[in-house]
Amino acid sequence: MNQPQTIIDKLWRAHEILRRDDGESLLWVDRHYVHEGSFHAFGRVAERRAEVTEPGLTFGVADHYVPTRGSRRNIANPELARMVRQLDENCARHGIKLFGLDDSRQGIVHVVGPEQGLTLPGLLIVCGDSHTSTHGALGAYAFGIGASEVAHVLMTQTIWQKKPKRMRVSVDGILPPGISAKDIALAIIASIGADGATGCAVEFAGSAIRALSMEGRLTLCNMSIEAGARCGVVAPDAATFAYLKGRPYAPTAAAFEQAVEAWSKLATDEGAAFDHEIALDAAKIAPIVTWGTSPQDALPIDASAPDPRRESNPDRAQYLREALDYMGIAPGKKLTEIAIDRVFIGSCTNARIEDLRAAAAVLAGRASKVPGLVSPGSTLVKRQAEDEGLDRIFREAGLEWGESGCSMCVGINGDLVMPGERCASTTNRNFRGRQGPGARTHLMSPAMVAAAAVTGHLADVRDLLDGRKA
Amino acid sequence: MEKFTAFTGTACPINQSNLNTDQILPARYLKWTRAMGFGKILFHDLRFDSEGREKPDFPLNKPAWRKSTIIVSARNFGCGSSREAAVYALYDFGVRAVIAPSFGDIFAGNAVQNGLLTATVTDEEAAEITGSLAQMPELPVTVDLEQQTVLCGNRTYKFKIDPIRRMRLLNGWDDLELTESYRERISTFKAQDKIKRPWTLPREQL
């Protein structure tokens, strides 16, 4: 009998072209996504006078530098215009299909890939962006790479990798109302740390994960890099297949049935061994917010900020002091007493239609006490939200309804949080200066951001539900 | 790529855990080309204030460490964004080795591609080296990749590095040339895979 295998082993084996004696493997890449930031890599290709070897497996998306306000046809800022044009030119030169600014399917690469059915179970997917881990939600082996590796993939459609350790994070039980995939992700990172999964590929398993929608799974896998994971993956199941059926680039008819048969075999075999196992009880997860400058600095909303004076480890105390100081939070302050200056709903983590619905459910009929921006994950999500009237809810609450892009998650398109300002954000990184120099970021779910908007401070969304579905 | 063997230099301790690539190179500089000189913007927002003046407390701004070729830091160095420009910034500043208890996976991969060594020591060893440097900032530090050792004062520390990455640095291998030598096996794999997994190809679209 064959040795039982994990989904990670199966995905790895299917892509392994060869394995050298030193243990490094050459892997086949099924999909390669590029964006404006891939210009270093295209430059490398040009230097070598090489060609893109598989343009049909390579897809471009304009997301990092695109404006979310004002004209997108004539970008006012010449530097942003140049970044977007560079991608246009590189894709055109190499015959790469581009979802550019003039395409109604444009959006954030990690939203567009699944949405278009380009991302499929069983694929190996790379992109020069750390949040490529997102695509693992569909049962793909997907990870972020640097510019040298992007160039290598462009020229060879392969990548050198050493097989990571296998970790399983099991979340069982039923999530309480008002708790989302973002809370699960932050709970995991708070529990294992920002390097808790370094060197590992992570399978998310258990009844609470199975019960998540595809969009919830995308949020969860997106955040796996924030625990240091090489990639995150959820075994494909009926929900995955239902999500993919009819997507533009996914197989159809008999080919789809054949694919489903293959995809169904990807799940981890009974008794397969993992190198690390972690378990969480879904029922115990509360709405979570970050208070510090790493995603691991996360606590339930009813907690208080840590107090370095109560910390016996001097290094840890120093870490807490520096983080609290940057964030402008008094030691021991109740999290719900922290006033905010602005909100942001967007990013590859939490800007899909369900995220917008969850935020709108809390905001409906209420006003935001602070300014804020909503940037949908893709132009298709934007259109759907408008069809559902969600844009009106956001606008009536006083928030700005923008176009799709990476926007205020990384701030390089000009959407910035001002120095010293505090932002409740649905994004993935609360690093110092991430949303702009001196910006203070609190990460949380879309419903929790809406709750913060309505109250003007970090707040428990459960107190604002009154029978609303969030 | 240049072969990495051993070298001796000045080491700058930056005792912060989770020093992510956004700190090493802020995102607003990602549109720069390498020719513009990433070295001068290494750790930009930690090194300079909003007026562009040096922050005197940041270790790299202290007289002894202004020309450091080694960085000693804490856990999870280089976590976060996959930006390879973080490695360009370190390298172009003159840094050839980072010593820390752990590294972000993508960063460590990018480092080896550019001839930057990531040397893994324990938390205690990193703290000890940092302590020695605090006492004697100009203490020369020797990093020997062949022996996998860090020599600091009269102490020698054995560091860890993935054996594959070590070989790559020692030999100065170029990934592309290596891959090129397997051209035929890649073609064979591709042909067989098309039959085995026909569903992987994106459906033809207009």
Q: What are the backbone angles phi and psi of residue A171, rounded to the nearest 5°?
A: -120, 110
For residue A62, the model assigns a pLDDT of: 98
- Do A120 and B16 make contact, defined as CB atoms within 8 angstroms? no
% of chain A at pLDDT higher than 90: 97
- Distances in Å between the Cα of B205 and the Cα atoms of A56, A119, A257, A430, B202 are 11, 15, 20, 39, 8
d(CA B53, CA B64): 18
Amino acid at A155: M
Q: Which H or E element spans position B141? A: strand B140-144
**Three-state DSSP class for residue A74:** coil
- Do A28 and B186 make contact, defined as CB atoms within 8 angstroms? yes
Q: Which of A10, A20, A21, A24 to mutate to test the interface with B (most CBs of B within 10 A)?
A: A24
Show the DSSP H helices in B15-84 as ranges.
Answer: 21-24, 44-47
- pLDDT (tens digit per residue) in A170-187: 999 999 999 999 999 999
Q: Which residue has the tokens 């006033």?
A: A339
User: CA of A3 to nearest chain B CA: how many angstroms apart?
Assistant: 21
pLDDT at B206 over 70: no
> Which structure tokens are listed for A62?
């304009």
Per-state percent for chain A, helix, strand, coil, to nearest 5: 40, 20, 45
pTM of the model: 0.97
Q: Left (φ > 0), alpha (ψ -120 to 50) or beta: where does A318 sit?
A: alpha
Strands A276-281 and A165-172: parallel
User: CA of B61 to nearest chain A CA: how many angstroms apart?
Assistant: 19
Mean pLDDT of A90-95: 98
pLDDT at A274 over 70: yes
Q: Which of A16, A57, A110, A130 to mutate to test the interface with B (most CBs of B within 10 A)?
A: A130
Long-range (24+ apart) CB contacts under 8 A made by A265-269 are: A265/A10, A266/A7, A266/A10, A266/A11, A266/A121, A266/A122, A266/A139, A266/A235, A266/A236, A267/A7, A267/A235, A267/A236, A267/A237, A268/A4, A268/A5, A268/A6, A268/A7, A268/A168, A268/A203, A268/A205, A268/A235, A269/A4, A269/A5, A269/A6
Q: What are the backbone angles phi and psi of residue A388, rounded to the nearest 5°?
A: -85, -5
Q: What's the N-to-C CA distance of chain B in angstroms?
A: 42
Task: Identify which of B26, B102, B185 has the shortest CB distance to residue A433.
Answer: B26
> Which structure tokens are listed for A443?
């990460």
What band does A241 get if pLDDT is binned at 50, 70 and 90? very high
User: CA of A251 to nearest chain B CA: how many angstroms apart?
Assistant: 6
Task: Identify which of A22, A195, A432 has the shortest CB distance to residue B167.
Answer: A22
- Do B106 and A146 make contact, defined as CB atoms within 8 angstroms? yes
User: CA of A271 to nearest chain B CA: how many angstroms apart?
Assistant: 26
Show the DSSP H helices in A61-146 as ranges.
Answer: 78-94, 109-115
Amino acid at A416: L
Show the DSSP H helices in A265-420 as ranges.
Answer: 314-327, 353-363, 379-387, 390-397
- Distances in Å between the Cα of B5 and the Cα atoms of A25, A305, A394, A410, B143 are 25, 47, 59, 37, 8
Q: In a 10 Å sphere around its CB, with 0-12 CB exposed, 13-18 middle and 19+ buried, how is residue A78 labelled?
A: exposed
Q: What angle do CA B61, B122, A226 make, to 5 degrees?
A: 75
User: CA of B158 to nearest chain A CA: how many angstroms apart?
Assistant: 21
- Do B202 and A262 make contact, defined as CB atoms within 8 angstroms? no
Show the DSSP H helices in A145-288 as ranges.
Answer: 147-156, 181-192, 207-210, 214-222, 238-244, 253-264
Task: Identify which of A148, A195, A410 has the shortest CB distance to residue B113.
Answer: A148
User: A-chain residues within 8 Å CB-CB of B164?
Assistant: 22-24, 162
Q: For residue A21, how far is the Cα from the chain centroid?
A: 35
- Distances in Å between the Cα of A375 and the Cα atoms of A118, A157, A408, A419 are 22, 33, 9, 21
What band does A1 get if pLDDT is binned at 50, 70 and 90? low
Q: Which of A434, A441, A443 to mutate to test the interface with B (most CBs of B within 10 A)?
A: A434
Mean pLDDT of B174-197: 95
User: CA of B27 to nearest chain A CA: how many angstroms apart?
Assistant: 6
Architecture of the domain spanning A288-464: 2-Layer Sandwich (3.30)
Q: Which residue has the tokens 């940037």?
A: A375
- pLDDT (tens digit per residue) in A195-205: 999 999 999 99
User: A-chain residues within 8 Å CB-CB of B195?
Assistant: none
Q: For residue A107, how far is the Cα from the chain centroid?
A: 13
- Do A31 and B113 make contact, defined as CB atoms within 8 angstroms? no
CATH class, range B6-198: alpha beta
Task: Identify which of A65, A148, A319 has the shortest CB distance to residue B110.
Answer: A148
User: B-chain residues within 8 Å CB-CB of A256?
Assistant: 199
pLDDT at A316 over 80: yes
User: A-chain residues within 8 Å CB-CB of B197?
Assistant: 14, 122, 262
User: A-chain residues within 8 Å CB-CB of B199?
Assistant: 120, 122, 251, 255-256, 258-259, 262
Who wins on pLDDT, B175 or A27?
Answer: A27
Domain coordinates in residue numbering, chain B: 6-198
- pLDDT (tens digit per residue) in A442-454: 999 999 999 999 9
User: CA of B151 to nearest chain A CA: how many angstroms apart?
Assistant: 24
**Three-state DSSP class for residue A162:** strand
Task: For residue A32, give every residue at least 6 positions away whose Cβ sits within 8 Å of its Cβ, in sequence order, or none.
Answer: A54, A57, A58, A59, A125, A126, A127, A150, A153, A154, A157
Q: Are residues A106 and A345 in contact, defined by beta-carbon separation less than 8 angstroms?
A: no
Task: Identify which of A118, A120, A194 has the shortest CB distance to residue B18.
Answer: A194
What band does A260 get if pLDDT is binned at 50, 70 and 90? very high
* Topology match between the domains A7-276 and A288-464: yes
- pLDDT (tens digit per residue) in B134-174: 999 999 999 999 999 999 999 999 999 999 899 999 999 88
What band does A470 get if pLDDT is binned at 50, 70 and 90? low
- pLDDT (tens digit per residue) in B171-185: 998 889 899 999 999
User: CA of B161 to nearest chain A CA: how many angstroms apart?
Assistant: 13
d(CA A367, CA B156): 63
Task: Identify which of A37, A155, A294 has the shortest CB distance to residue B30.
Answer: A37
For residue B99, the model assigns a pLDDT of: 98
Burial profile A125-135: b = 16 or more Cβ within 10 angstroms, e = fewer: bbbbbbbbbbb
Strands A342-345 and B149-152: unpaired
Q: Enter the ipTM.
A: 0.96
pLDDT at A467 over 80: no
User: B-chain residues within 8 Å CB-CB of A128?
Assistant: 82
For residue B2, the model assigns a pLDDT of: 79
d(CA A412, CA A437): 11
Task: Tell me the β-bridge partners of A439.
Answer: none
- Do A149 and B113 make contact, defined as CB atoms within 8 angstroms? yes
Task: For residue A283, give every residue at least 6 positions away whose Cβ sits within 8 Å of its Cβ, in sequence order, or none.
Answer: A173, A174, A175, A176
Domain coordinates in residue numbering, chain A: 7-276, 288-464
- pLDDT (tens digit per residue) in A57-92: 999 999 999 999 988 989 999 999 999 999 999 999
- Do A79 and B31 make contact, defined as CB atoms within 8 angstroms? yes
User: A-chain residues within 8 Å CB-CB of B76?
Assistant: 194-195, 198, 228
Write the DSSP symbol of residue A6.
-
Show the DSSP H helices in A16-56 as ranges.
Answer: 39-47
Largest interatomic CA distance in chain A: 65
Architecture of the domain spanning A7-276: 2-Layer Sandwich (3.30)
For residue A36, the model assigns a pLDDT of: 97
User: B-chain residues within 8 Å CB-CB of A160?
Assistant: 175, 178-179
- Give the number of residues written for chain A: 470
